[in-house]
């Protein structure tokens, strides 16, 4: 069971450091094989935003980016400012759940070594690209000593987002079949919003969605709304905060580099939703979300949240306090 009462659980912020080439590859665009990168451009914006917010976050790094020396300065700057580094696979393929055991082992061998060499941190958290996950992936995480997984996206909008992506992509039917697990399955919408033991020995920290309605509340979705109405995006986020407080959900908020970039920064990603929104306006919305998050919850990296939830408790003999959470296995 969980070893911490609910009122001591902290909110967290994570960022999937998907690079330009990864978006191009997922979209089926040529040129990704040269591994174009915007990390030198976006990382200072991310660091400045977190510095202003007084936050240390968890950054999920793609192993291939870590293997390229041109990205090392940007990645090292994240660790120098105290942010946690976690694993986001090596080649960022949203069909990771289709890998066999040998392929998974090779993928993790490469990503773990590259991330350690570039950042000096051994990743103890993992998020599958495109929320790709499976029991085989989780078994491997346990064998390799990972503390937590963060691959579940409990939303009813996963299939809708996948259909929109397929409609706007240039993928062949064969490539679409590989990506059929992108953004998760509808059944994921009914999984917990709070951390839980997904398999014995592995904590799941799901990406928070709107309590009750199970619609997305991560920044990329807020910015999708903001391209039509910024007040609507802010009101939607504020409603999510209110529902999280009512239902005792300490949010795990997800960010992406595109939340800090616009089409003038990266013309090749003009197809991506909300890229016409100026970067300055995007960052204002990010700051609004982070400010309201910190005004209602304590915050920590996901690694710290996982540690606090699973570390042994030494109870005060003068008090009797029953945890409100049970860390029961819940297979997906």
User: How far is 251 from 309, CA to CA, in rounded Å?
Assistant: 15
pLDDT of 190 reads 82
pLDDT tens over the chain, length 332 residues: 454 444 457 999 999 999 999 999 988 899 999 999 999 999 999 999 999 999 999 999 999 999 999 999 999 999 999 999 999 999 999 889 889 999 999 999 999 999 999 999 999 999 999 898 999 999 999 999 999 999 999 987 556 555 555 555 565 676 656 555 555 566 677 889 999 999 999 999 999 999 999 999 999 999 999 999 999 999 999 999 999 999 999 999 999 999 999 999 999 999 899 999 999 999 999 999 999 999 999 999 999 999 999 877 655 555 444 333 334 444 33
Residue 34 lies in a domain: yes
Residue 324 lies in a domain: no
Count up the domains in the chain and report the number. 1
Angle value at C-alpha 77, between 76 and 81, nearest 5 degrees:
115
Containing domain of residue 191, as a range? 6-310
pLDDT of 178 reads 55
Helix or strand run (H / E) with residue 252: strand 252-255
Residue 322 lies in a domain: no
pLDDT of 278 reads 98
CATH number at residue 297: 3.20.20.370
Q: Looking at the chain, list the stretches that DSSP marks H as alpha helix, in order from N- to C-terminal side.
A: 20-27, 39-53, 63-67, 72-80, 101-119, 135-143, 158-168, 173-178, 219-226, 230-246, 279-296, 302-310
pLDDT of 312 reads 74
pLDDT of 233 reads 98
Residue 177 lies in a domain: yes
pLDDT of 310 reads 87
Contacts of 196 (CB under 8 A, 6+ apart): 2, 203, 204, 325, 327, 328, 330
Tell me the whole-structure pTM to 2 decimals. 0.87
Contacts of 105 (CB under 8 A, 6+ apart): 140
pLDDT of 311 reads 79
Residue 327 lies in a domain: no
Residue 332 lies in a domain: no
Contact 253, 293 (CB under 8 A): yes
**Two structure tokens written together for 213:** 């309605």
pLDDT of 316 reads 54
Residue 317 lies in a domain: no
- The DSSP output letter for 189 is G
User: How many CA atoms lie less than 13 Å away from 20 in the CB half-sphere?
Assistant: 25
Contact 199, 138 (CB under 8 A): yes
pLDDT of 112 reads 98
Residue 93 lies in a domain: yes
Query: Please, what sign has the CA dihedral across residues 191, 195, 199, 203?
Result: positive
């Amino acid at each position: 069971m969980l070893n911490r009462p609910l009122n001591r659980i902290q909110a967290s912020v994570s960022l999937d450091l998907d690079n330009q080439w990864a978006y191009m590859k997922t979209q089926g665009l040529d040129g990704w094989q040269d591994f174009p990168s915007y990390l030198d451009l976006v990382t200072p914006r991310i660091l400045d935003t977190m510095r202003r917010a007084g936050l240390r976050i968890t950054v999920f790094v793609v192993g291939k980016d870590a293997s390229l020396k041109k990205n090392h300065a940007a990645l090292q700057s994240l660790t120098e400012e105290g942010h946690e580094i976690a694993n986001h696979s090596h080649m960022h393929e949203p069909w990771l759940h289709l890998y066999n055991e040998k392929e998974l082992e090779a993928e993790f061998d490469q990503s773990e070594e590259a991330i350690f060499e570039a950042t000096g941190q051994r990743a103890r958290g993992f998020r599958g690209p495109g929320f790709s996950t499976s029991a085989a992936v989780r078994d491997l995480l346990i064998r390799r000593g990972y503390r937590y997984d963060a691959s579940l996206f409990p939303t009813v909008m996963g299939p809708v987002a996948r259909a929109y992506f397929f409609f706007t992509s240039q993928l062949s039917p064969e490539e679409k079949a590989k990506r059929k697990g992108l953004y998760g399955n509808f059944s994921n919408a009914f999984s917990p919003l709070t951390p839980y033991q997904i398999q014995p020995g592995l904590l799941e920290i799901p990406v928070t969605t709107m309590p009750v309605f199970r619609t997305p509340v991560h920044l990329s979705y807020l910015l999708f709304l903001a391209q039509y109405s910024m007040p609507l995006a802010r009101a939607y986020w504020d409603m999510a905060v209110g529902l999280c407080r009512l239902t005792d959900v300490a949010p795990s908020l997800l960010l992406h580099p595109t939340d800090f970039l616009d089409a003038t920064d990266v013309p090749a990603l003009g197809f991506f939703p909300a890229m016409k929104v100026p970067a300055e306006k995007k960052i204002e919305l990010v700051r609004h979300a982070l400010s309201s998050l910190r005004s209602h919850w304590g915050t920590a990296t996901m690694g710290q949240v996982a540690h606090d939830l699973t570390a042994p408790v030494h109870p005060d003999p003068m008090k009797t306090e029953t945890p409100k959470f049970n860390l029961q296995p819940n297979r997906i």
